[in-house]
Amino acid sequence: MDKMTDTGSASLTIGDKTLSLPILKGSIGPDVIDVRKLYAETDCFTFDPGFTSTAACESAITYIDGDKGVLLYRGYPIDQLAKQSTFLEVCYLLINGELPNAAQYVEFERSITTHTMLHDQFDRFFQGFRRDAHPMAVMTASVGALSAFYHDSLDVNDPDHRRISMIRMIAKIPTIAARTFKYSIGQPFVSPRNELGYAENFLRMCFAVPAEDYKGNPILARAMDRIFILHADHEQNASTSTVRLAGSTGANPFACIAAGIAALWGPAHGGANEEALNMLREIGKPENVPAYVQGVKDRKYRLMGFGHRVYKNYDPRAKVMQETCHEVLKEVGDANDPLLQVAMELEKIALSDDYFISRKLYPNIDFYSGITLSAMGFPSEMFTVLFALARTVGWISQWQEMIADPQQKIGRPRQLYTGPAYRDFVSVDKRA
Ligand code: ACO
């Protein structure tokens, strides 16, 4: 790696000392000021809680231009990938940097489909959970437990170990996710089928039952595949940064991905689509939209599925998600679903209202994903599990990039300390 170029310098004056800081340029996007020598030369740190102005790594995987509403995986626009590619091809792209040729694709698909089964003892692991456990609790624990089953691939310094661990996670996490769902509804686990595509196999593991033959639906399988593509990576978000930080210590990849799943679970990150769906249900019918929007403008509540920390334009994933939502609802029998009508009315009113326009609030991916997943048969507790399944490839691509980066160091942020300065210990009998 290290494709960044030096394009000049910035001056920083602290007291009577002026420091020259290199300015580095990536292939696109904002330049960065290299502050790596700041502490050594000035005894000062930078202060940036929430990393709003800090690039914590160099990466060549995903690019976002939030003002223009652009998302690229390895340079390819998300809408082109969602419409013309497949999730497995996107996995190959994210991990390897290039789209596969026909032979590479066949080999990659074969390696994934031949690793989808779980160790027989792994199934006993699920029995330890209560049936009403949140599926994300089961996911976090189960994915972490993979490191107890694959001792043969935990050496992060060995490229072969890294490769097989990545394959195992892309292959086995759908099986774990489907078992998490089946366990929560008290149905028997369904084994993977190697002749099926990735999304089709996952839907079968979720919805097939022993009492009848399962008939796959290509439209729903394509929608699932697209949803996986849309969620596959999103640059240095909270869960990806968590994976990188955990990985910077040399922790094994299964443990790192479990850490990412835990971070994704939070309502400010992976949980918003459930809240968007609840909001549409609460509004109930299109006639109630104007009053609801007035409540948002009166700051009684926020419009869920609107706004984004990075996108100050239409989230490019939301456009594809909207189309997918229409296709799914048409297929499962209710193109006039009242929730879809509410969503469309809400979007129309919000996009023409100055409150939203002036704040650059546009629909994000979560606005339509909840309705879509619900129509496909998933309960809302499973939404974040599906997000984790799709994001696994992004996490492992970023993890792999970090491990292979010669500049990589253990992640160790500094702080602005505001606690007590030095003081002597006082024994309990002398304390006030
Ligand atoms: N509804 C109404 N007003 C909003 C919304 C919203 N959804 N989002 C932001 N605003 C307003 C704020 O009140 C604020 O107005 P003000 O300047 O008059 O006080 C202004 O827009 C800026 O808001 P911030 O909270 O500073 O923006 P930030 O970039 O920090 O927030 C966030 C981004 C958290 C996503 C926010 O837009 C939000 O809460 N959205 C709803 C939840 C949601 O959909 N989250 C999913 C994000 S996508 C994902 O995680 C995959």
Task: Identify the residue with better confidence: 338 or 56.
Answer: 56
Q: Residues 244, 139: contact at Cβ < 8 Å?
A: no
> What are 205-239's pLDDT values in tens digits?
999 999 999 999 999 999 999 999 999 999 999 99
Residue nearest to atom 44 of ligand 1 (CA): 305
In degrees, to the nearest 5, what angle opens at C-alpha 318 toward C-alphas 86 and 143? 55
> What are 32-56's pLDDT values in tens digits?
999 999 999 999 999 999 999 999 9
- CB 366 near ligand 1, within 6 Å: yes
CA 53 to chain centre: 21
Whole-number pLDDT of residue 70:
96
* 71-80 mean pLDDT: 98
Ligand 1 pocket test target in 308, 346, 369, 391 with most atoms within 8 Å of CB: 308
Q: Is the pLDDT of residue 185 over 70?
A: yes
- CB 153 near ligand 1, within 6 Å: no
Ligand 1 pocket test target in 292, 313, 361, 383 with most atoms within 8 Å of CB: 361
Q: Residues 315, 79: contact at Cβ < 8 Å?
A: no
Whole-number pLDDT of residue 172:
97
Whole-number pLDDT of residue 233:
98
Q: Please confirm, yes or no, whether 366 is among the known catalytic residues.
A: yes
Whole-number pLDDT of residue 4:
65
Q: Is the pLDDT of residue 309 over 90?
A: no
Catalytic member of 225, 233, 337, 366: 366
- CB 361 near ligand 1, within 6 Å: yes
Q: Which range (53-62, 169-178, 405-414) has the least confidence?
A: 405-414
> What are 93-104's pLDDT values in tens digits?
999 999 999 999
pLDDT band, very low/low/confident/very high, at 120 (cuts 50, 70, 90): very high
* 185-210 mean pLDDT: 97
Residues in a beta bridge with 306: 363
Catalytic member of 225, 231, 234, 308: 308
Burial 138-171 (b: 16+ CB within 10 A, else e): bbbbbbbebbebbeebbebeeeebbebbbbbbbb
